[in-house]
Amino acid sequence: MSQQYMLHVNGVDHEVTDGWLGESLLDTLRDRLGLMGTKGACTQGECGSCSVLVDGELVCSCLVMAATATEQEITTIEGVAPAGAPSDVQQAFVDAGAVQCGFCTPGLIMAVHDLLERSPEPDGTEIREQLAGNVCRCTGYGRIVDAVQQVSVRRAGSGSSS
């Protein structure tokens, strides 16, 4: 049976007209709303590639039933910064060599923004624990930790966030 409902994504209302009841938010974002930035690599909540914010909480969109996410603020990677005007986190990832194939990258960017919001100066262990839900197969994580630390230091120095 086809589902019809509204989702509020990146500040914009989207009508979903052809979803099915159990469809995940991940699939709905990609296949119904054409927002391809959020990636699916495991559909079990084990890799974090599908991470989005729902009402300010970092969650795996593959584990959210889209039809139940009505009247919630959903933020995807597309909502982090305008295209071509990357956030400081996004720029740091590129500068630090933290992007190889890039498949894990959108989910990681979401997780890092969330981490630095809650904990602006995380040490190495905290970074690793808070990002443990995001798996990367290419980088071995070293350059990613470096990117996070670069942003943290820069923000502290400038007294601003983002």
Partner 1 sequence: MSVDERTDAPPRAGVLGDSITRPDGIAKTQGAFSFSSDESVDGCLFGATLRSPHPYARIVSIALGPAWQIDGVRAVITADDVPGQPTYGLIAHDQPVFASEYVRYVGEPIAAVAADGPETARRALAAIRVEFELLEPLLDPEAAIAGAHDPVHPDGNVIRHQRIEHGDLSVAGDIVVEGTYEIGMQDQAFLGLEAAIAFPDDGAALGNGGGIELHIATQWLHEDQKQIAACLGLPAEKVHVVLGGVGGAFGAREDISLQVHTCMLALRLGRPVRMAYDRGESFLGHVHRHPTTISMRHHATADGQLVKIEARFVFDGGAYASTSSAVLINGITMAQGPYRCPNGEIVGWAVRSNHLPCGAMRGFGAVQACFAYESQMDKLADACGLDPVEVRLRNAMVTGDTLLTGQRVLNVAPVEECIRQTAALPLPNTPVGGVPLPDGEVDVMQLPGGAGRTADAGDVVRGIGWGVSIKNLMYSEGFDDYSTARCKLADGVATIKFATAEVGQGFVMIATQIARTVLGVDDVVLDTIDTGVGSAGSTSASRQTWMSGGAVDAASRKVRDQLLAEIAREQGIDVNRLAIDGTDIIDTAGSFRLSVTEASMGRSFDEEVEYRHPETFDLDERGQGDCHTAFAFVAHRAVVDVDPELGLVKVVQIATAQDVGVALNPLSVIGQIEGGIAQGLGLAVMEEIIQVDGVIRNANFTDYLLPTFLDMPPVVAALIEQPDPLSPLGAKGVGEPPCISSTPSIVAAIRDALRSVGVEKDLDRVPVRPGDICL
Partner 2 sequence: MPVAVPRSLDDAVRLLADEPDAMLLAGGTDAMVEINDGHRRPGESVIALNRVAELRSWSHDPATGTLTIGAGVTYKELMNDPIARWSPALAEASRTVGSPQIRAAGTLGGNVGTCSPAGDALPVLAALDAQVRLVSSAGGRTLPVSDVMVGVKRTSIEPGELIADITIPAASGPQGYAKVGVRNAMVIAVASACVAVDSEAKSVAIALGSVSPTVVRCPDAESLLAASVDWQTGSVDIEIVAAAIARVRSRAQPITDHRSTAEYRSHAVGVLVQRLLRRSFRIESAGVRA
Contact positions vs partner 1 (CB under 8 A): 20, 30, 36-44, 46-47, 49, 76-78, 80-81, 83-84, 86, 89-91, 93-97, 99-106, 109, 124-125, 127-129, 131-145
- Please choose, from the candidates 61, 74, 84, the residue with its C-alpha nearest in 3D space to the C-alpha of residue 14: 74
Tell me how far, at minimum, the Cβ of 34 lies from partner 2, in Å.
Answer: 21
Q: In terms of CB distance, is 57 or 154 closer to partner 2?
A: 57
- 62 is a site residue for partner 2 (CB under 8 A): yes
- Please choose, from the candidates 23, 68, 69, 60, the residue with its C-alpha nearest in 3D space to the C-alpha of residue 42: 60
Q: Where are the alpha helices (DSSP H) in 15-104?
A: 25-27, 88-95
Contact 120, 161 (CB under 8 A): yes
From candidates 7, 9, 16, 59, binder to partner 2 by CB under 8 A: 59
The option from partner 2, partner 1, none interacting with 51 (CB < 5 to 8 A, set by class) reads partner 2
How many chain residues interact with partner 2 (CB under 8 A)? 31
**Opening angle at CA 63, ends 60 and 69, nearest 5:** 90
Q: How many residues are given for the chain?
A: 162
- 125 is a site residue for partner 2 (CB under 8 A): no
Other Cβ atoms closer than 10 A to 6: 12
The option from partner 1, partner 2, none interacting with 86 (CB < 5 to 8 A, set by class) reads partner 1
Q: In terms of CB distance, is 34 or 159 closer to partner 1?
A: 34
